[in-house]
Chains A and B, each alone.
Chain A
Amino acid sequence: MENSKGIFKRYIYVIIPIEVVLGLVYSVAGFIAIINWYLGTTGAGEFLYSDYIPGDLGISLVMLSIGFLMILSAYYWFKRKPVKSLAATTLGLGLAVAAMVMQVLVIIASWLDGIIVGEPIAYEELVMGFLRAEALLGYIALPLFYISLRILSKITT
């Protein structure tokens, strides 16, 4: 028990600060996705950061949820509820990883689709897909997710 507590603390000092920053970035990206969605449906203007952030209500919901969980986990941490904090962290990071994996799957799918339909494949577009916000941030979340999952399984049954 002592030992796992020690590990728990050390990791949380690494994860929490990164996570707060990550959480803020996710939240901002989520808001921009809503704005872009609004711009898209009304045709009121050009997308903001159009290369990185789509105008999609669904993905904005996902990114806002991730951001919220990450900030919530920091909040729990300061409220001295480390275990709850870790749960929020793991789920936030998990959702981030899921969103990233989905984006990567979608890219692979459109690449395969190009082959099947026999149309020239827009490689540039595909590569840009890997740079979409939820993918980019997801790469950072992946190792953190692994670590937090490890700690979580150490301190629970």
Chain B
Amino acid sequence: MARESRRVKIALAGIPNVGKSLIFNRLTGGRAWVGNWPGVTVEKKVGTLRVNGAEIEVVDLPGIYSLTAYSVDELIARNFIVEEKPDVVVCIVSAINLERSLYLALSLLELGANVVIDLNMVDLAEKEGYKIDYKKLEFLIGVPVVPTVATTGRGIGKLKETIVKAIHEKKVQARIVDYGRIVEEAISKIEEVIKDLAPELAEKYPARWIALKLLEGDSDIVGKVSKLPAGKEIIDKANQLREILGKKIGDPESYIVKQKYERVLEIVKAVVERVAVPRVSMTDLLDSVLTHKIVGIPLALSAIYLLFRFAFEVSVPLADLVDVAINSYLHDIVLGIHGLPDWLTSFLADGVIAGVGAVLIFLPIIAFFFLGFAILEDVGYMARVAFLVDKVFHKFNLPGKAVIPLIIGFGCNVPGVMAARAIEDENERKTTALIAPLASCNARLPVYLVIGGAVLGASAGFAVLSLYVLGIILALIVGLLLRKTLFKGASSGFIMELPPYMMPRFDNVAIKTWERTKRFLFKAGTVIFLGTVIVWLLSVTGPEGYLGPEALEDPQLLRESWAGILGQLLASTVFSLMGWDWRAAVALFFGFVAKEIVVSSMAILYGVGEEKIVDVIAERHVFTPLTAYAYMAFVLIYVPCIATLAMVRNELGLKYAILALIYEVLLAYIVSLSIISIGSVLGFR
């Protein structure tokens, strides 16, 4: 291998919340290249560590608990280690969560990685009254261990030194766990078969590891091995051994996991020393109330309510600032430019600025929402919310963690779908990503407010609240259906960590808020921009050709436009039972692009500014209360916006994006029609 031409590369691994981001920043000085792992949208961060004039590439692996094939993140991590062969893998281990951390560390060792252990959060362990004998740990697992405190930087210098040393002295401890005679014999047999029949495989992967994975029935490795010329033979042999083992020890996979865990417990017992009298921890004490199965629920709802208040009411001045800047200032500037052709002025003012502006006004709300959420998350409270709903969600075959994507989805569905990633079980993850778009995002709210405000009067508040609830109920029901059909499988137990409560850290919160808000901004900048351009174009042109910007002001002319024709067609066919005005129908069509556009395109279609749209809808009796409510429900359900669909495609593939599209349109139609028919039977109008 041409070693010299390749940059020295190290990887950072660790369970979630061990302080990996902080360590990454400490090692690299915070400067990072951010991209995606190939083929998926899991974020990949790469930075540079400079020591003694040398430059070392630092790759941040996703936060993971083990190296199974059950989760995208874990697959990414292990494929990276096997394929890119980093010179050192720094496994960050939490001193206050040693068990889960060491389980991962042992998994990395088994994979044949050259591991350096960073024992982080030793300050918190000391606070809780125990000490970890890191020298002993070093001795027991045979690789270097460096204690650190990422928040203060304690031990980071030593960590850098150790990494550099480890680059030159490789240590491999693939046999770190002894699985007992029966399993070890099976492992050796498979190892031999592999070395005989597929030496190229044994070169790339540690043969012992492959053997273990074949015994476990790891889907990814079984798939990879069967593609080899000698694959079938190896798999057959492995299956044969699996069967024999199965009779003696039960399911080999659970057995192997159990053995490894026992080894972890042995190590933990040997290295942890109590130094102070144990007292109740603050975390346990607070959790006795916060995760109480009855008391916890109203508290969680209160927290979410305050979060909403923060997002919607405290952000008002910023939202208005954006509004003033765009809709008055910028709009006037454009109108004031002389010498532009009419169509261009109209395009800029009525299309681009009105459309994108309508979206940007949400930016402060979304940013505040994500800010509040990130604080609750960083404190450690969101994990408790997941824990609280776990029981209820299990009735729908969903894990409690699925609540997080739904709550984030209240802000914006795009990061909501992405947040489903944290769910380990594949079927549960896919289901959650598919139902997350049913959470009523901020973009739908203006539609409710405008139409509800215009038509429902005093009941508007209740109607809006009911839509949020409806969204969650539908999400759970659809989730259950998906889990019973497409994504069958036992639901996993609660395996999320309940991390100790901590003061939120400014940089953590800032980064999380920015990451999520960025996706919304990106959406505004691209998808929604395109969408508004299309709305404008379809409104000012028709079969007759260019109608001119007058079409936007003259309803008669607007009927002649493509948008008008399409809307009348929709209103007289599929939506004829709903009794919606053609302009409302066509606004729905544009809402495919982004739900924010429903209001702005209604404004365009009714030929008024957005501030007047409420009055127009009320005065012209566009809706009855019943048709209005059905319309609002339709807007809630009918499609995830294009950006959300793109995210579903990224996460799950095109097939599922199409599935999401189809099921939501159908569901929306059914629900709206039910509202109308049941409502009229009950005597509502």
| A residues lining the B interface (CB < 8 Å) | 37, 40-43, 57-59, 61-62, 64-65, 68-69, 72, 83-84, 86-88, 90-91, 95, 98-99, 102, 105-106, 109-110, 112-113, 115-117, 152-153, 155-157
Contact = CB atoms under 8 A, between A and B. Distances in A.
Interface in B73-107: none
Nearest to B319: A113
Contacts of B317: 109-110, 112-113, 115-116
A98 B309 CA distance: 11
A68 B298 contact: yes
Contacts of B299: 65, 69, 91, 95
B302 A62 contact: yes
A72 B288 CA distance: 13
A97 B141 CA distance: 48
A113 B302 contact: no
A58 B305 CA distance: 6
B280 interface: yes
Given A58-B308, A109-B316, A117-B320, 4 more contacts: A59-B305, A87-B289, A91-B299, A109-B313
15 contacts: A41-B461, A61-B298, A69-B289, A84-B288, A87-B285, A87-B288, A88-B289, A105-B314, A106-B314, A109-B315, A109-B316, A112-B317, A113-B316, A157-B129, A157-B282
Interface residues of B, number: 36
Contacts of B279: 155-157
Nearest to A64: B298
B280 to A, nearest CB: 5
Given A91-B289, A109-B313, A113-B317, A61 B282 contact: no
Contacts, number: 100
Given A156-B279, A156-B285, A157-B282, A65 B314 contact: no
A117 B289 contact: no
Considering residues A86, A112, A157, which has the most beta carbons from chain B within 10 angstroms of its beta carbon? Answer: A157
Majority DSSP secondary structure for residues of A touching B? helix
B12 interface: no
Interface in B98-145: 127-129
B285 A58 contact: no
Given A41-B462, A157-B280, A61 B127 contact: no
Interface of B: 127-129, 278-282, 285-286, 288-290, 295, 298-299, 301-302, 305-306, 308-310, 313-317, 320-321, 324, 458-459, 461-462, 465
Given A102-B310, A157-B127, A62 B281 contact: no
Contacts of B309: 58, 102, 106
Contact of B320 (A58, A88, A99, A113): A113
A102 B280 contact: no
Contact of B306 (A43, A88, A102): A102
A95 B586 CA distance: 45
Contact of A106 (B289, B305, B313): B313
Contact of A87 (B278, B286, B310, B461): B286
Contacts of B310: 102, 105
A37 B459 CA distance: 10
Contacts of B459: 41
B306 A98 contact: yes
Contacts of A64: 298
A116 B324 contact: yes
Contacts of A156: 279-282, 285
Nearest to B284: A156
A69 B465 contact: no
Contacts of A42: 458
Nearest to B306: A102
Contacts of B286: 87, 90-91
Contacts of A102: 306, 309-310, 314
Considering residues A59, A83, A113, A115, which has the most beta carbons from chain B within 10 angstroms of its beta carbon? Answer: A113
A153 B313 CA distance: 33
Pairs A-B, 7 closest by C-beta atoms = A112-B317, A58-B305, A156-B282, A113-B317, A65-B298, A62-B302, A106-B313
A99 to B, nearest CB: 7
A62 B300 CA distance: 10
Contacts of B324: 116-117
A112 B319 CA distance: 11
B380 to A, nearest CB: 14
Nearest to A115: B317
A105 B316 CA distance: 11
Contacts of B128: 157
Nearest to B456: A41
Nearest to B304: A58
A105 B313 CA distance: 9
A78 B95 CA distance: 38
Contact of B305 (A62, A83, A91, A115): A62
Contacts of A153: 282
Contacts of A95: 299, 302
A155 B280 contact: yes
A137 B279 CA distance: 33
B306 A152 contact: no
Nearest to A62: B302
B305 A69 contact: no
Nearest to A37: B461
A24 B280 CA distance: 30
A60 B637 CA distance: 29
A11 to B, nearest CB: 16
Contacts of A43: 458
A77 B286 CA distance: 16
A116 B321 contact: yes
Nearest to B298: A65
B282 A152 contact: yes
B309 to A, nearest CB: 5
